[in-house]
Structure 1
Amino acid sequence: MDRFLIPAGVLFLLLYTVEIDCKTYDEMAEFYKTLYENYEPKLRPLKNQSHPIEVYIDVRLHSIVSYDERAGTLTSLILNSLSWTDEVLRDKFSVNSVDYIEVPISKIWSPKHYIFNTAIEDTVLKTGEVRHEDCYLHQDGKIIYEYLGLAVTKCPANILKYPLDNHLCNITFFAVEPIEKLIFYPHYVVNGGNNGSAMFENEEWNTSNLTSFFSVEHSHSVFQFYINISRKPMYILLNLTVPLVCLCVLNSFVFLLPESSGERISYSVTILLALVLYLNMIADRLPNSTPISLININIIAQFTNSCFIVLFTILTLWMYNNQQENKPVSRPWGMFVQILSGGMCKKPVRSKVEPNQLMDVNGKIEEEDKTDLHNECEFEVSITWADVVHLTNCVMFRANILFFTAELAIFLTLILK
């Protein structure tokens, strides 16, 4: 029995033995030495130099570092992936049985491209000292080179709907060599489709609709990577918009303060200075370009309205002072009260004047022309400066509330459109 088991076991091992090819350190060192023999990194790795080399490129957004809307620059961290076939190294690799090796990118040919719309002097992705200098060389001659880099590109701001603003930015890569020698192709669909987002989100900006386009300009391959960024508005809404609305509402209530309190001027001027502060904040943050943001227009409108409020506050205090000094109401102010009080006929002021006499604007006493009475009415009530002040406060309060409501409705309609 044992005589048959031993030969059977040997036969089984011979039939099911898997060949394992182990490379020693000396063998791999010798392979690396011969790999770069007769290899010129300045030449395209094609046996037929009249053909263009095809390079597959894929750009993925790692994260948004910052966006400066005033300078119009976007700083983003980009994962750049390049792949191409090196026919020269493929022939040398065929004598080796390993699947892939790492080779320094500086010792082989690599596609040269630069950022066309850069906002700084560097026209390549800034990688610093941590740049991955090795690429992967596969047995079929395919080379894959991936690295992270910082791109600072131009991206003009569209702050019309600030702080609900959206900006469409792009990173344009331009091939150094013409299409007769180098052609860019898409590697695969960016981030799983046109609705991709960054690998890591920014605290202030959302990213969406990452798309890529290929074109040929001036006989060179061009690859454009588009990034749509939108601001996260909650912080600005809570710290800028809500206080601004509260100030504008409080601005109208100055006409409810009694003139005798002595706080009217200081109240209205304080709110006016607060609006000036808001204008400075917006001017320091947003670019000096068109279109002007709607919130900037809103603050300017409220600032202008606040100037009118200060003016009418001074006017009502002047009227109140006339009342304290028992000065008579002039004819224009009397007509103003009659018109705005519903057209009722009021008796004009006849302080220290004979019943058949009236006082004109200049304070001169004139004889009353009974045939030229306003609306030929029977005057029953005397008009005082207190009446003028009260009516002015009432009209200005309602007018400012109406103006603020209409202006806020228009602002919300335009910004949410």
Structure 2
Amino acid sequence: MERRNIMLLTMLSLTFNLRASKAFSSYKPNISNGLAEESRLMEHLREVLPKFTPPFDMKDTRASVNLDLYQILDVDEKNGAIMVNMWCHMYYYSEAASWDPADFGGIQMVKVSPKTFWTPDIVPLDAVRVTYNGFNQQVVRSDGLVVAWSSMMTLQLSCDFNLRKFPYDRQYCPVRLGPWLLHQDVYRAGLEDSKKESSLELSYFAEDNQWELIKPVKLSVINVTRSQFSYDQIILHMRLKRIARFYETVLIFPNILLYAMSSMVFWLPVDSGEKISMAVTTLLAEIVTFQLISDILPATSYPFPDMLYFICVVAIHIALVTLMSVIVINIHSIEDRTKMPNWVYQLIRSNWMRLAFLKPYQPENHTEPNSSNTHSQQLPENPLGKIPISCQNEASVIKPVKIRRSTHSPDNFYQNIPAQNGSFDFERTKNTKSEPDVQSFSPAWQYFACLIDRFMFFVHIGLKCSIMTYFFSQAQKTD
């Protein structure tokens, strides 16, 4: 029984081996036939397609270029460079390279290694650096189409950036491609179907988070003549628009906020002692912004960004605010014995004060100035005026400030010298000038300082709105 099973298995294995050998023998001639047909086709193509010169029967003597933008890698405004990834296909037609697939075992397309046949010398003309990567093989089709070059290129291009509208700017960076050595008499470079203009498909374009590609992206062909030779040049018109949300958050909004806060200097009471400190701090914070922008923009003076003009104007305006604060503090500190001009006194007592939301100044025990005097009259000492409600928050207006003389002043120096032999040196102290211990400030001058603060606040608000409206309306305009 075991012998019978072994014989049966042996017969089955022999039958399988015979059928497998027949199948392999029937398939082997097909492989050899395919290799033979491909070798015969390659010999035919090498005979009709040159390697170093264009084919004699190239259709319209034109090599067509097909481009497609893939990605914007980097935009460097400081160094004036842009880096992009793009696909480039260069092809041409040759009647001699066409064949009937039935004559070559049904082969309709053949792939060969790079530079097997002639390749157009079309290269990027503005590129600082070019890196070719990806698929790069030549393909010949049965209808005579020869794909001479097909590869992805990483281009680093030099671009002339116009940063006048920064950060709402739009940049135009053309990519020029053309023959490097051969001129128009040898072959012409162009687009598909001899078009003069077309658009990129952008099927695989990856959007950038800093720049927006303005669509459609046009391709055009122009003719350039240099040194008595003409050649065609293909231009990819790439236009970019900056996405300004980041700069609005970290640059524009803080500057507007600082500019708005500078108005509060005129509402800060003089007696607080922080009026100058706030103005100077705001001015320094505005100047620090220049350092931030200098790290982004190139060191060029043309075209100068409008944003830097805006920051310069704001810095000058805040510097004037600081100067006016110094003037107000000086007016506020005038003593009551100092003469006040008659027109100033009449102004603070007139109803024009209501335009600044202040009530007219009404002092107590006040003697009207004599109109016959050519100069302004002496104000009474320590007049206690009725101060309007809007200025009662300022301690400098409510009551005079008293400055008490130090006991270590030169006038009191000799008073602190101990007696010698029980007596003072009256000869050294008799000529000492006696001054009062209290020095008071005039409420009228303090009221006038409050009026200047209120007036400068409204002027500051008006100038600020005008400056911001002008600059931001100019920034939104497109060239």
TM-score range, shorter chain: 0.7 to 0.9
Q: Secondary structure at the match of 1:302?
A: helix
Structure 2: gaps spanning 5 or more residues: 1-29, 355-359, 377-384, 386-441
Residues 69 and 85 of structure 2 are in contact (CA less than 8 Å); yes or no, is this contact kept in structure 1? yes
Q: CA deviation at 1:198?
A: 7.1
Match of 1:200? 206
Are 1:308 and 2:315 an aligned pair? Answer: no
What is the aligned partner in structure 1 of residue 56 from structure 2? 46
TM-score normalized by the length of structure 2: 0.67
Q: In the superposition, relative to structure 1, how do residues 342 and 148 fare at CA in structure 2: closer, same or farther (>3 Å)?
A: same
Picking from 214, 232, 240, the partner of 2:243 is 232
CA-based RMSD of the aligned residues comes to 3.8
Q: Given the alignment, which residue of 252, 255, 260 partners 1:241?
A: 252
Map 1:101-140 onto structure 2 (within 5 A): 101-118=110-127, 120=128, 122=129, 125-127=130-132, 130-140=133-143
2:184 match: 179
Secondary structure of the structure 2 residue equivalent to 1:290: coil
Q: 1:47 to 1:164 in 2, by over 3 A?
A: closer
Q: 1:385 aligns with which of 445, 455, 459?
A: 445
Aligned length: 369
CA pair 332-77 structure 1, distance change in 2 beyond 3 A: farther
Higher Rg:
2
Amino acid at match of 2:221: F
| SS of alignment partner, residue 178 of structure 1 | coil
Aligned-pair distance for 1:388? Answer: 2.6
- The answer on 1:222 being equivalent to 2:233 is yes
1:321 and 2:333 matched = yes
Q: Residue by residue, what CA displacement relative to the aligned partner does 1:270-293 show, whole Å, maximum 9, x if unpaired?
A: 111111111222233223142322
Q: 1:319 to 1:83 in 2, by over 3 A?
A: same
The Cα shift of 1:104 comes to 1.4
User: Which is further off, 284-293 or 74-83?
Assistant: 284-293
Distance 1:181 1:191 in 2: 22
Aligned to 2:4: none
**Alpha-carbon deviation of 1:183?**
0.7
The question of whether the paired residues in 2 share the 8 Å contact of 1:190 and 1:196 is answered with: no
In the TM superposition, what are the counterparts of 1:51-62 in structure 2 within 5 Å? 53-62=61-70
Whether the aligned pair in 2 keeps the contact of 1:79 and 1:149 (CA below 8 Å) is: yes
**Offset of 1:158 from its aligned partner?**
2.0
C-alpha contact (below 8 Å) 1:58/1:190 kept by paired residues? no
The alpha-carbon distance between structure 1 residues 98 and 340, as it changes in their structure 2 partners (threshold 3 A), is: farther
1:105-142 Cα shifts (integer Å, max 9, x gaps):
22221000222223x2x4xx422xx3322122112231
Unaligned runs of 5+ in 1: 1-20, 350-354, 359-367, 375-380
Q: Which one of 388, 401, 407 corresponds to residue 461 of structure 2?
A: 401
Over 3 Å counting, the alpha-carbon distance change for 1:30 and 1:193 in structure 2 is closer
- The answer to whether residue 174 in structure 2 is matched with residue 162 in structure 1 is no
1:141 has 2:147 as partner: no
The CA deviation string for residues 361-391 of structure 1, in whole angstroms up to 9 with x for no partner, is xxxxxxx7716478xxxxxx88732023211
Identity %: 16
Secondary structure, in 3 states, of the residue corresponding to 1:285?
A: coil
Secondary structure at the residue paired with 1:137? strand
Could you tell me which amino acid in structure 1 is paired with residue 75 of structure 2?
A: Y
Matching of residue 75 in structure 1 with residue 88 in structure 2? no
Partner of 1:377: none
Provide the C-alpha distance between the structure 2 equivalents of 1:62 and 1:35, rounded to a whole number of angstroms.
Answer: 37
Contact 1:73 1:155 in 2 (8 A): yes
Scaled by the length of structure 1, what TM-score is found?
0.76
Contact 1:160 1:291 in 2 (8 A): yes
Preserved contact between residue 46 and residue 87 of structure 1 (Cα < 8 Å): no
